[in-house]
Amino acid sequence: MSFLEGLLWLTLNVYHEARSEPQIGQLAVAHVTLNRAMDKNKSVEQIVQAPKQFSWTFQKDSYFPTEPDAFVSSMETAMTAMITSDFTKGATFYHRTDVHPKWAGTKTFVAQYGKHKFYRN
């Protein structure tokens, strides 16, 4: 997979998962995606498209962004994540604060950024 393909999939994930979040929350989502890719030795595309991992991939009819400014901002965030150190302490999971997934109790809470809570194994 090329750098640009990885950037596109990371951008789409940030856009669909966190575009309404503050910059720090968007960046944390990007780092979780990258951490998963590194941990599983898979491409960003494979991580994003893995079944039932990111809600937008199975709840939306289209991956096409409808908010151009938010897409550009998401791409800037994705690029930043690709060239900066991970500040999430290796987080590989997150969820919105208004949901309470069963798996959260089996993970180590790392931090909350915006309306997302972040965890690691």
Half-sphere exposure (CA, 13 Å, Cβ side) for 73?
A: 16
Residue 36's pLDDT band (cuts 50, 70, 90): very high
Name 3's Cβ contacts closer than 8 Å, sequence gap at least 6.
none
Write down the pTM of the prediction.
0.94
Mean pLDDT within 24-45: 97
From CA 36, how far away is CA 41, in angstroms rounded? 8
HEC profile for 63-91? CCCCCHHHHHHHHHHHHHHHHCCCCCCCC
What domains can you pick out in the chain, each with its CATH number? 3-87 (1.10.10)
Residue 25 pLDDT more than 90?
Answer: yes
Mind listing the pLDDT tens digit for each residue in 50-85? 998 998 888 777 788 999 999 999 999 999 999 999
From CA 74, how far away is CA 9, in angstroms rounded? 11
Residue 1 pLDDT more than 90?
Answer: no
Name 96's Cβ contacts closer than 8 Å, sequence gap at least 6.
115, 116, 117
Name 73's Cβ contacts closer than 8 Å, sequence gap at least 6.
19, 26
